């Protein structure tokens, strides 16, 4: 199959996935798009929103629709790294045997990731980046495809630990879930307080997802689009030649090179699902907010004046 045919097929498959997910998830259109974008680009996503906005249900539904193994890890203050990765035990023959933890699955729902201390959060880092786990000096490969979809309640809430910048940078998208509209909430209440059961169809296999990820990597990108993405990221770095007055005033740290890479990957997926065979600058702009918002660190002045990350990114676009 040629890449052109495969891109057309991906666009069609994307519409089918959206239609199937909408049987369970009402509204949250953009959030669904961005989670699927991260899956096709081979990245991880962070879903941020107050309790009750169907973050867990969204991840569970997507895992069923794309036909992958799914494990949920509920992050709590007493969760240990071995609870995620697994541990060695002494068997009846007095030899050490490795018992795999829940990380050995295709989709990991890291529920309320900011409720656990940094040591346990860091246990995810190697698996997110390298797709391997090291226990007692032995490397264990994770089965592919592998995604971490983490949910997080707003950081101001009691009993939470802010995620370290190094870990935030591992997420391709930071996805904000908003309250539903009045009509959407009416539909949610109707569907969740009756005894109707929804049957979801599995539309993809693990091997198909891996093929689509390879296809995204093969999509060509013009130099001017790559330069635009790199310039956009460079503009977020205060006290550099490209930084605007807004950035110098309100940002402590800007985005790193991983942001530029992810902008291009995200733009490729955005182009492919809209039937384009190469991304343009509009595709980069389309994914700029979820890719940059968790990679820029505001200073106290921005906090005091109520300047949001979105407002700063908007000024750069």
Domain chopping of the chain, boundaries: 1-218, 220-317
Report residue 170 CA to chain centroid gap: 9
β-strands 171-176, 44-48: how paired? Answer: parallel
**Phi, psi (degrees; rounded to nearest 5) at 5:** -65, -40
Distance CA 19, CA 13 (A): 10
Same fold for the domain at 1-218 and the one at 220-317? no
Residue 173: left if φ>0, alpha if ψ -120 to 50, beta else—which one? beta
The total number of residues written for the chain in this structure: 317
**Cα dihedral value 264, 265, 270, 275, nearest 10:** 100
Per-residue confidence (pLDDT) for residue 268, from 0 to 100 = 92
Q: Spell 224-254 as b/e; 16+ CB within 10 A means b.
A: ebbebbbebbbbbbbeeeebeebbeebbeeb
Fold of 1-218: Rossmann fold (3.40.50)
Cβ neighbors of 65 (< 8 A, separation 6 or more) are 17, 20, 21, 200, 201, 202, 203, 204
pLDDT recorded at residue 157: 61
Please tell me the distance from the alpha carbon of residue 294 to that of residue 28, in angstroms, as a whole number.
19
- The CATH homologous superfamily for domain 220-317 is Magnesium chelatase subunit I, C-Terminal domain (1.10.8.80)
pLDDT in tens, 227-254: 999 988 888 888 887 777 777 777 888 8
CA angle 146, 149, 154 (to 5 degrees): 160
Closest CA to 51 of 124, 157, 148: 157
DSSP helix/strand/coil, 287: coil
* CA distance to 7, 218, 264, per residue, from 2 (Å): 9, 11, 22
Q: Residues 6 or more apart from 227 whose CB is under 8 A from it? A: none
Distance CA 101, CA 85 (A): 5
Residue 306: left if φ>0, alpha if ψ -120 to 50, beta else—which one?
left
Q: What share of the chain is helix, strand, coil (3-state, %, to 5)?
A: 50, 15, 35
- How high is the pLDDT of residue 298? 78
Please give the average pLDDT of every successive group of 10 residues along the chain, which has 317 residues: 79 85 80 88 85 78 84 86 82 79 87 82 79 80 86 68 77 84 81 76 84 88 91 85 77 84 91 87 89 84 78 78
Per-residue confidence (pLDDT) for residue 155, from 0 to 100: 60
> 161 and 27 in contact (C-beta within 8 Å)?
no
What residues does 151 pair with on adjacent strands? 47
pLDDT given for residue 264 in this prediction: 92
**Gyration radius of the chain's alpha carbons:** 20
Quote the pLDDT of residue 120.
Answer: 81
pTM to 2 decimals?
A: 0.85
């Amino acid at each position: 199959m040629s890449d052109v045919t495969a891109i057309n097929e991906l666009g069609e498959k994307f519409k089918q996935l959206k239609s199937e997910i909408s049987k369970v998830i009402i509204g949250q259109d953009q959030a669904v798009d961005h989670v699927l974008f991260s899956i096709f680009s081979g990245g991880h996503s962070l879903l941020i929103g107050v309790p009750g906005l169907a973050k867990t249900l969204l991840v569970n539904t997507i895992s069923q629709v794309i036909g992958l193994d799914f494990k949920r890890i509920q992050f709590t203050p007493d969760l240990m790294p071995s609870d995620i990765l697994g541990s060695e035990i002494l068997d009846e023959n007095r030899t050490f045997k490795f018992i795999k933890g829940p990380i050995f699955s295709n989709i990991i729902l890291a529920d309320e990731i900011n409720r656990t201390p940094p040591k346990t959060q860091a246990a995810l880092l190697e698996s997110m980046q390298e797709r391997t786990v090291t226990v007692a000096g032995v490397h264990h490969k994770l089965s592919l495809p592998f995604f971490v979809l983490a949910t997080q309640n707003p950081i101001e809430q009691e009993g939470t630990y802010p995620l370290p910048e190094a870990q935030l940078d591992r997420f391709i998208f930071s996805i904000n879930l908003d309250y539903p509209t009045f009509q959407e909430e009416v539909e949610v209440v109707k569907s969740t307080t009756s005894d109707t059961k929804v049957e979801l169809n599995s539309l993809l296999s693990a091997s198909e997802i891996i093929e689509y990820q390879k296809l995204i990597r093969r999509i060509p990108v013009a130099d001017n689009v790559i330069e635009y993405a790199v310039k956009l990221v460079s503009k977020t770095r205060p006290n550099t030649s490209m930084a605007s007055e807004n950035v110098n005033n309100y940002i402590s740290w800007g985005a790193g090179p991983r942001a530029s890479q992810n902008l291009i990957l995200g733009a490729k997926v955005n182009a492919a699902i809209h039937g384009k065979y190469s991304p343009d600058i509009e595709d980069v702009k389309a994914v700029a907010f979820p890719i940059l918002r968790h990679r820029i660190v505001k200073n106290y002045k921005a906090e005091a004046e109520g300047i949001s990350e979105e407002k700063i990114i908007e000024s750069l676009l």
